[in-house]
Structure 1
């Protein structure tokens, strides 16, 4: 019998971006703090409801940012009374939005120093901002852009644009100018003017049905709407309320943290995962743009040449040989990432993350990617989780070692795998490291974290200047036996373009194997 993949648009508890703007416009404390007359021109985002099972009284947090003053506030309130939200100063600086980048590109093209030629390309750079500190203590917001001129003496330039003043800084301070003399990647980047969001739902209800049997039922969130955001930089394709054969197994699964560190000069980046880019996907769009059920396997930058090409942006689904693939391609500056989940009929879940890039000299330099999944296991409900480590002791039947307090762990001998199960039923999942997941260097910090669930620990806050994952700040000795447990799992990949290995496909990720 043919397995059917069914998707339906699904509602989302929370405030839309326009509702957040209305709250800000009617809140005297917001406008007073930002010294504005109205909310027009502010950068705001949607504010999803917080909590496991949010209702109309759930809490929310929303970021409101003024790009001209380069200042922001955070709103904290409840959905039933958003006008009574608390207003707190915020140091969070959102990445440039597409409209802001297009405005910056128009200013750049009008600059007299902009090179002539039809082949000149403007693309998004790393870091996304190069703000300038002024003598009076204020700062000026300046998105960065890359200029690719194949005929120029410098094929790549990084510039900063003051959109409010209409000015271009061709040598922005604080932006690394260390560049490899050549280009290593064959893929040309997409210009910032080209990639446009064509709408469609933020999330869908996905069902995989075999005859009369429902194998999978879950919510899938597009990268553009994934949490955490504002503060936070998205998390790729996000899964929620994941049920296998009617049983809840995961409340939430996503990648809230993605870091890069260069070996030669120590430059680091915290990459964003809410910018969807194009890839190839053939099939139907039953709920509108951004969601495609494919008739053949989708092809991302890892499977096809040509860089940012294809006819689709969003999330693609493809079922074959007993497994459903959920795929999206992301852009962060010159990086391209593949966010993927593989759901097998038997309940096995294979999270996967792929690494690639488009033409830029920085990609020629040796660097390490660190990707951090967050798994909120809720097998048989939120409470009563049991965490165990299984070591290689030489026995054919490894013995479990209970983990009863919050801890960070490395993937190294004798540890073989870890397990999270329900204390009553014994059902749950084993976490088996992927073949290419490696183990953390000092910058990568660790490989796994076992933490007690707290709604505010969705994002590490990134308080450091080196963008390092700050998950150890959550390890404070709390008991995790018979509680609600969250597992963070890190994969580490070293990209050396000059010495490629057999794994130059750049895919990492563990296998989550069901225990029944």
Structure 2
């Protein structure tokens, strides 16, 4: 079985957001997935998913544990008989959003690991793919979770994309505004919290710049359509007050490159990095998050959240 639906919000006659969503059965393990996402009538995402979620050193799970997020592992929602996905609208002063949510509860290590997966679409065009973690048992053990989102941007259309990196310390002009550096080939950036230090795997040189940077917490990426009026979305990573490693991969779209590959440990995982051109092509962004359960075991340390923030430009 699966669960699917469509959102047209706030009204069918004057929508800000239009999108399809799905929660598929095994063998798919993409979690709650969105497709054909349009804001103000313009295409944003062809598909957004959570293809990979790995835990390291979790109680009862061994060194590595890969979670399957799909219809079979999701929980039925209270108040929505027979449904595993809830759709809601929130109002917060002068802004509002429409969201999707599902839960996964798994007994593990003498406790229960609860995942809450959400997609939030705000009236101002902001998108927030989110994952929340809660472990019910007190423990003195440290462990971490690493969720990997795949964001297949089709800004205005599938082709003509350009990915850019924003580094406020960049002094060389590249023609896209101060600090903006074009990423013309497939490339991976590791981002370290809390200081915003970075290093990369991929092309370097006069156009790409150095393999190591320290842009601080102002770092951003963007995927922009090169055709006028140059619409696009910025991707802002989440920063922590503790040590954490997140990453952003820019890759060229390939129809068979939708699942996480390689070993469970992210440093050895190859997300289709082979140096292909991404400029004037269909760009895909993989965002790898980091969630750290600390040994204190207090309730505040057991509630964790992760996910990037996506901001539109030239969509109004």
TM interval, short-chain normalised = 0.7 to 0.9
1:451 aligns with 2:251: yes
CA distance change for structure 1 residues 434 and 242 in 2, over 3 Å: closer, same or farther?
same
- In structure 1, C-alpha distance between the alignment counterparts of 2:221 and 2:239, rounded to whole Å: 15
Work out whether residues 220 and 234 of structure 2, in 8 Å CA contact, stay in contact via their aligned partners in 1: yes
Structure 1 unaligned blocks of 5 or more: 1-198, 291-313
**1:407 corresponds to:** 187
- In structure 2, C-alpha distance between the alignment counterparts of 1:251 and 1:474, rounded to whole Å: 19
Work out whether residues 439 and 492 of structure 1, in 8 Å CA contact, stay in contact via their aligned partners in 2: no
- In structure 2, C-alpha distance between the alignment counterparts of 1:482 and 1:439, rounded to whole Å: 36
- In structure 1, C-alpha distance between the alignment counterparts of 2:189 and 2:308, rounded to whole Å: 15
Among candidates 282, 288, 292, match of residue 484 of structure 1: 282
- In structure 2, C-alpha distance between the alignment counterparts of 1:437 and 1:508, rounded to whole Å: 13
Work out whether residues 271 and 332 of structure 1, in 8 Å CA contact, stay in contact via their aligned partners in 2: no
What does 1:458-477 correspond to in 2, within 5 Å?
A: 458-462=258-262, 464=263, 467-469=264-266, 471-477=269-275
**2:82 corresponds to:** 289
- In structure 1, C-alpha distance between the alignment counterparts of 2:298 and 2:186, rounded to whole Å: 38
Work out whether residues 372 and 488 of structure 1, in 8 Å CA contact, stay in contact via their aligned partners in 2: yes
- In structure 1, C-alpha distance between the alignment counterparts of 2:146 and 2:47, rounded to whole Å: 20
Work out whether residues 417 and 431 of structure 1, in 8 Å CA contact, stay in contact via their aligned partners in 2: yes
Deviation at 1:269, TM superposition (A): 0.6
Among candidates 37, 50, 55, match of residue 255 of structure 1: 50
- In structure 1, C-alpha distance between the alignment counterparts of 2:150 and 2:249, rounded to whole Å: 9
CA distance change for structure 1 residues 263 and 354 in 2, over 3 Å: closer, same or farther?
closer
Larger RCO (CA within 8 A; separation ≥ 6): 2
Deviation at 1:402, TM superposition (A): 0.5
CA distance change for structure 1 residues 501 and 316 in 2, over 3 Å: closer, same or farther?
closer
**2:66 corresponds to:** 270
**1:209 corresponds to:** 10
Deviation at 1:211, TM superposition (A): 7.6
- In structure 2, C-alpha distance between the alignment counterparts of 1:249 and 1:456, rounded to whole Å: 21
Work out whether residues 436 and 508 of structure 1, in 8 Å CA contact, stay in contact via their aligned partners in 2: no
Report the number of matched residues.
273
Work out whether residues 55 and 65 of structure 2, in 8 Å CA contact, stay in contact via their aligned partners in 1: yes
**1:245 corresponds to:** 40
**1:331 corresponds to:** 105
Among candidates 139, 149, 158, match of residue 373 of structure 1: 149
Work out whether residues 75 and 103 of structure 2, in 8 Å CA contact, stay in contact via their aligned partners in 1: yes
1:431 aligns with 2:227: no
Work out whether residues 272 and 332 of structure 1, in 8 Å CA contact, stay in contact via their aligned partners in 2: no
Select the structure of larger CA radius of gyration: 1
Deviation at 1:479, TM superposition (A): 0.9
CA RMSD of aligned residues (A): 2.8
Work out whether residues 76 and 82 of structure 2, in 8 Å CA contact, stay in contact via their aligned partners in 1: no
Work out whether residues 408 and 472 of structure 1, in 8 Å CA contact, stay in contact via their aligned partners in 2: no
Deviation at 1:263, TM superposition (A): 7.9
Structure with bigger helix share is 1
**1:149 corresponds to:** none
Segments ≥4 residues shifted beyond 4 Å: 263-266, 437-441, 499-504
Deviation at 1:475, TM superposition (A): 0.5
What does 1:98-497 correspond to in 2, within 5 Å?
A: 202-210=3-11, 212-222=13-23, 225=24, 229-230=26-27, 234-262=29-57, 267-274=63-70, 275-280=73-78, 282=79, 289-290=82-83, 314-321=84-91, 322-334=96-108, 335-359=113-137, 364-393=140-169, 398-411=178-191, 412=197, 413-414=214-215, 416-425=219-228, 426-436=230-240, 441=245, 447-462=247-262, 464=263, 467-469=264-266, 471-497=269-295
Work out whether residues 242 and 251 of structure 1, in 8 Å CA contact, stay in contact via their aligned partners in 2: yes
SS of the residue aligned with 1:365? Answer: coil
Deviation at 1:333, TM superposition (A): 4.2
**1:153 corresponds to:** none
Deviation at 1:393, TM superposition (A): 2.3
- In structure 2, C-alpha distance between the alignment counterparts of 1:252 and 1:211, rounded to whole Å: 22
Deviation at 1:424, TM superposition (A): 0.6
- In structure 2, C-alpha distance between the alignment counterparts of 1:276 and 1:496, rounded to whole Å: 26
Structure with bigger strand share is 2
SS of the residue aligned with 1:388? Answer: strand
- In structure 2, C-alpha distance between the alignment counterparts of 1:220 and 1:459, rounded to whole Å: 18
Work out whether residues 277 and 331 of structure 1, in 8 Å CA contact, stay in contact via their aligned partners in 2: yes
